[in-house]
Every structure is written in structure tokens, then in C-alpha cells.
Chains A and B, each alone.
Chain A
Amino acid sequence: MLEVQNLSMRFGGLLAVDQVTLDVQEHEIVSIIGPNGAGKTTVFNCISGFYKPTGGKILFEGGEIQGKPDHKISRLGMVRTFQHVRLFGQMTVVENLLVAQHRHLNTNLLAGLIKTPDYREREQKSLDRAAYWLERVGLMELANREAGNLAYGQQRRLEIARCMVTEPKLLMLDEPAAGLNPAETKDLNQLIISLKEDYNVSVLLIEHDMSLVMDISDRITVINQGRPLAAGTPDEVRNNDDVIKAYLGEA
């Protein structure tokens, strides 16, 4: 569903991403790994429309999306998180989930003012969906708390719930396990697998936690200094000499 072909991104004299090619099929979890500063997040930023790539093509479900504005790309069914939590911290937990469904609601102001039956029904649906995902990520009791006051791990889960209420086809997670303790990472592991199995969402993942990556990925792409280094199944990548060198340095 997502195809990235020869993607390049140049900032002045710095070639941050050089000819990266990767793809994500339906019902698949693909991870991007690589040392710090390898250009993983830059790849994400190009795909999600945050940056306009200087070279290459990005196709989503067959259509070219490189250089399109980010809200148009997100409306195609692609949603992402960032390395740091970006919740609406001063809004309640449930409001965070409702506002993410903004575009699913009737956009007619008049319908909202006089609360037509159709509007009520949509509003009810988005509340139901929010409640479902709160239950799913175990935050139901905290629904009316301010999102900024949640514990870090809870904020991370809320972010994923907020992505899921938009009913994406592709979920892009940038280091979702960063800062989580081992138990939380294990929960996250199961959650991501369940997103794929039970909700038919494809996942593109950037992660440093190797046990998580090796556990859940169907395929892995390794990037080093902006260039693709290796790609394949977790086993292939684990035994690739170049990868071992890049991570451990030359012996």
C-alpha cells in the first residue's frame, strides 16, 4: 500500500536521506532501524508530508503523494506519532479522541447548532468509538483527566488510541517504546500486533528497542547515514554482516 522509491532529502549541503527505497504491504509491520542520526525520522517526515522530498517518489495506494500538504496525506488514511508525545495536553483524554474524529463529523455549522438527528447520531458514534479505544488501551477511568497530567506510558497509549479513532489504513509510529519500562514495552508489543491482526492496520515503525523490533516486524529496513544498508526479515537482518558492522563498529 505504501511504496517509497529512491527517496532523497537534502538540507543545503547535507544529504540526510539518500536513495531510500522501502514498501509496506497490507497487513504487515515494517520497521526502520539504524543508528542515531541515520535519517529514519526524516524518512517519516517526508512520507507524512512534513517535508517536501528533494528526490524520489512516494506512492500510497497507487497515488503519488510526495510534496502534498500533510492534512491531505493524513486524509488518505495515514496517521503518525512523533518521538515526543504530542497530545493536546490541556484537553481531557476523551476530548483528544473526539477532536481526532473532527472530520468524520458533519462539517455543517448549522447542523451542529440545531443538532439535527444526523448530527447527533454521528456525535454518538464518535463518542462510542472513543469509548471503545479508551477501553482497549486501558484508560477508561481516566477519560475526564487532562491528557497532560497522565503518566508517560499512559500518554503513549493515548496517542495510539488517538491515531486509531481516525480509522487509518497505515499507522506510522516513531519510537513508540522510547521511555517505557519493560512491562509497558511488552504491552505495547501486544497492542501493535493486535492492531495488525484485529484491525487490519499496516504499521511502519521506527524503534531502537531491538527485542520489540525483532519480535513484531514482518520485515525490516536498515538505514545508515541516510543510505539503505539492508532489508529483509528479522532473521536476515540480524545475520547481515553490514548491519552488525554499522551497529557495533568495525572489529
Chain B
Amino acid sequence: MQDLLYFFQQLINGLTIGSAYALIAIGYTMVYGIIGMINFAHGEVYMIGAYTALIAITGLTAFGIAWLPLVLIVALICAVIVSSSMGWAVERVAYRPVRGRHRLIPLISAIGMSIFLQNYVHLAQGSRNIGFPALMDGGFQFGSADSFQMSLSYMQITIFITTLICMTLLSLFISRSRIGRACRAVSQDLRMANLLGIDTNRIISATFVIGASLAAVAGLLLGMYYGSVDPLFGFIAGLKAFTAAVLGGIGSIPGAMLGGLILGVAESMTSGYLSGEYKDVVSFSLLILILLFKPTGLLGKPEVEKI
């Protein structure tokens, strides 16, 4: 019984962190699906989302506004607005001017963008980590107090539900809306979409903005979950989300969701049964294995060479 509870505890922790990875991974996968390139500044967009949320929360608390739902919603809106403008700017500055050039060039400009944003936050907010106020305490406890107790915190429930809502909205948007339809067309054949009169530049901007908004949501959630942010907050999370996207099959949105969850669970199982120090080893070993044995990822389709 105790063992089972322990297992479920790891599973819950893994799914929590995994669903946040999935939110970030969608940004990588959508951008890759459309322009065939990795947005290396995406982790920074996520980090800026977390900072913006923190600033908004601190500001509201200073004004004496403490009603939790309001604080969270305002923080969320601020984070989404700032991050999505950042995502839009990254595309305009680092991708659009060099689109159609050699693949290395946008890669380098995006890495430059990432270094710039990281250092900008270093300067503006200092390099020490800043604590998030504990807004959401408590949760449910299972099991008897004298042995292992499984806990499911309100924060974890919030992360699950928010992620679920975001994923549902995104799926509906992609499958039903006019812009979603255009996004799919552009990702399948950009040139043809262009020839049919679709404004592909707008669609590319839209994917960066959507990815950045989801990253901002993840920034707020994970910032609160971990309890602090620092300017390197986006680096490791970005790397993990990228791994999740490749794991699930880069370019595939359901793949990014699945990849995020698998990665999260794998990490927490490693921490729970092996040692916390091995969790990064396991997640990147997973990446290597998938690249060796199924390079297209779990849900990715093999690329057909376009002539």
C-alpha cells in the first residue's frame, strides 16, 4: 500500500512537471512545423513570462489586492501579453530578415537573441533568484500520518487544469478556426499556401505568438510551483521542452503533449527511485535513444522529400 502511494506520488509529480514541459514544447513544435527551424529563444520567452507574472503579482500585492483568482488572472494576462510580444519580436528580428538563407544563419541569430534576452533580464532584475510569494498552499493528503503520505497540492491541480484548458483551446483553434486551417496549410506547403494568396508572414507570426503565449502560461505555473525565478530559469526548461518535442515527434502538436508527459514522468520516477541527480541523465538519454531508434519521434511522420 505504501509502495503504491509512493508510486502514485511520483506519477503525480511527473505529470505536473510534464504538462508544463508540454506547454513549452508546443512552441518549439509549432515553429518547427511551419518554418522547419528550432526557436532557440523560446526558453527565454518562457523565462520572461515567469518574471512578468512575478512582477504583476508583486505589484498587485503592493496595492493590497489579494483575492487569489483575480491576482492569478491578471498575472496570467500580463505574462501572456509580454511574452507573446516577445515571441513576435523574436520572429521579426531574428528570423524574418534571414529567412530563406542557409539554415545555420537563423539558428545563430536565434541563439544571439536568447543570449541578449537572458542578459537583459540579468541587468534589469539582477542575477540572484527572486522568490515567488506562496499564493497557493495546501492540498489533499492520502495515507496514514505515521507512514508515507501521498500529497496532491492545489498548485498541482491548478497546473493540470490550466494545461488541459490550454491544450483543448489550442486543438480547437488549430482544427476549427480559419487561421488554424491556414497554419496547417502553411506547415504542409508554405510555397503553395503563398501562391494561393495566404499571407504566410502573418501565419508565421501567429505561430510564434501562440507558442509564446503558452510558454508564458507555463512560466507563471512553474514559477509558482518552484517558488522562485532567476535569469537562467528558461535555459534548462527550454532544453527539456525541446527534448519533449523531439521525443514526441517534432512538428506534431499531440506529439509535444505526449513527449512532455513522458519526459516529466521519467524524470520524477528517476528522482523517486534512483536519485535526483540522475534525472537529467535519464531525460537526455531518452533523447539519444529516440534519435537513434526512431528519429521522427513517437508521433512524428517520416519526412517525405519535397521536390
How does the 8 Å CB contact mask read for B198-223 relative to A, with 1 for contact and 0 for none? Answer: 11100000000000000000000000
Contact B185 A99 (CB under 8 A): yes
Which of B39-47, B112-120, B176-184 sits within the interface?
A: B176-184
> Is there a chain A Cβ closer than 8 Å to B307's Cβ?
yes
- Set of chain A residues within 8 Å of B184, measured between Cβ atoms: 88, 90-91, 95, 99
- Set of chain A residues within 8 Å of B195, measured between Cβ atoms: 48, 70-71, 74, 79-80
> Is there a chain A Cβ closer than 8 Å to B275's Cβ?
no
Interface size on B, residues (CB 8 A): 20
A86's partner among B177, B181, B189, B200 (CB-CB below 8 A) is: B189
Contact A103 B199 (CB under 8 A): yes
How far, in angstroms, from A88 to B197 measured CA to CA in the complex? 15
How far, in angstroms, from A84 to B192 measured CA to CA in the complex? 12
How far, in angstroms, from A90 to B174 measured CA to CA in the complex? 13
Q: A residues 69-118 with Cβ under 8 Å of B? A: 70-71, 74-75, 79-80, 84, 86, 88-91, 95, 98-100, 102-103, 105, 107, 109, 112
> Is there a chain A Cβ closer than 8 Å to B61's Cβ?
no
Tell me whether A102 and B188 are in contact in the complex, defined as CB-CB below 8 angstroms, given that A71-B200, A79-B196 are known contacts. no
Tell me whether A103 and B188 are in contact in the complex, defined as CB-CB below 8 angstroms, given that A109-B179, A112-B179 are known contacts. no
Contact A102 B200 (CB under 8 A): no
How far, in angstroms, from A192 to B198 measured CA to CA in the complex? 25
B181's partner among A70, A75, A89, A91 (CB-CB below 8 A) is: A91
> Is there a chain B Cβ closer than 8 Å to A166's Cβ?
yes
Interface residues of B (CB under 8 A from A): 177-179, 181-182, 184-185, 188-189, 191-200, 307
How far, in angstroms, from A112 to B192 measured CA to CA in the complex? 24
How far, in angstroms, from A120 to B181 measured CA to CA in the complex? 16
- Set of chain A residues within 8 Å of B198, measured between Cβ atoms: 71, 99, 102-103
- Set of chain B residues within 8 Å of A90, measured between Cβ atoms: 184, 188
A71's partner among B181, B194, B307 (CB-CB below 8 A) is: B194
- Set of chain B residues within 8 Å of A91, measured between Cβ atoms: 181, 184-185, 188
A166's partner among B182, B191, B194, B197 (CB-CB below 8 A) is: B197
> Is there a chain B Cβ closer than 8 Å to A162's Cβ?
yes
Contact A100 B196 (CB under 8 A): yes
Interface residues of A (CB under 8 A from B): 48, 50, 70-71, 74-75, 79-80, 84, 86, 88-91, 95, 98-100, 102-103, 105, 107, 109, 112, 123, 162, 166
What is the minimal beta-carbon distance from A220 to any residue of chain B, in angstroms?
Answer: 25
How far, in angstroms, from A79 to B193 measured CA to CA in the complex? 11
Tell me whether A88 and B178 are in contact in the complex, defined as CB-CB below 8 angstroms, given that A71-B197, A74-B197 are known contacts. no
Residue on B with the closest CB to A104? B197
Show 18 A/B contacts (Cβ-Cβ < 8 Å), sorted by A: A48-B195, A70-B195, A71-B197, A71-B198, A71-B199, A79-B195, A79-B196, A86-B192, A91-B188, A95-B181, A95-B184, A98-B181, A99-B181, A100-B197, A102-B196, A103-B198, A109-B179, A166-B196
Contact B188 A89 (CB under 8 A): yes
Given A88-B188, A102-B178, A112-B179: 12 more A-B contacts, CB < 8 Å:
A50-B191, A70-B195, A71-B199, A74-B194, A88-B189, A89-B188, A99-B181, A102-B182, A102-B197, A102-B198, A103-B199, A166-B196
Residue on B with the closest CB to A163? B196
What is the minimal beta-carbon distance from B238 to any residue of chain A, in angstroms?
Answer: 28
Residue on B with the closest CB to A123? B178
What is the minimal beta-carbon distance from B280 to any residue of chain A, in angstroms?
Answer: 35
A88's partner among B179, B185, B194 (CB-CB below 8 A) is: B185
- Set of chain A residues within 8 Å of B177, measured between Cβ atoms: 112
What is the minimal beta-carbon distance from B200 to any residue of chain A, in angstroms?
Answer: 7
Residue on B with the closest CB to A72? B197
A105's partner among B178, B185, B196, B200 (CB-CB below 8 A) is: B178
What is the minimal beta-carbon distance from A17 to any residue of chain B, in angstroms?
Answer: 20
What is the minimal beta-carbon distance from B190 to any residue of chain A, in angstroms?
Answer: 11
How far, in angstroms, from A103 to B193 measured CA to CA in the complex? 11
What is the minimal beta-carbon distance from A167 to any residue of chain B, in angstroms?
Answer: 11
Tell me whether A112 and B178 are in contact in the complex, defined as CB-CB below 8 angstroms, given that A90-B188, A91-B188 are known contacts. yes
How far, in angstroms, from A79 to B195 measured CA to CA in the complex? 7
What is the minimal beta-carbon distance from A150 to any residue of chain B, in angstroms?
Answer: 15
Residue on A with the closest CB to B183? A99
Contact A74 B181 (CB under 8 A): no
What is the minimal beta-carbon distance from A181 to any residue of chain B, in angstroms?
Answer: 23
- Set of chain B residues within 8 Å of A112, measured between Cβ atoms: 177-179
Give the one of B177, B181, B184, B185 with max A CB within 10 A: B185
Contact B196 A74 (CB under 8 A): yes
- Set of chain A residues within 8 Å of B191, measured between Cβ atoms: 50, 70
- Going nearest first, the 3 A-B pairs with the smallest beta carbon separation are A103-B197, A99-B185, A71-B194
Residue on B with the closest CB to A100? B196
- Set of chain A residues within 8 Å of B182, measured between Cβ atoms: 99, 102
How far, in angstroms, from A74 to B199 measured CA to CA in the complex? 11
Contact B307 A84 (CB under 8 A): yes
- Set of chain A residues within 8 Å of B307, measured between Cβ atoms: 84
How far, in angstroms, from A80 to B182 measured CA to CA in the complex? 19
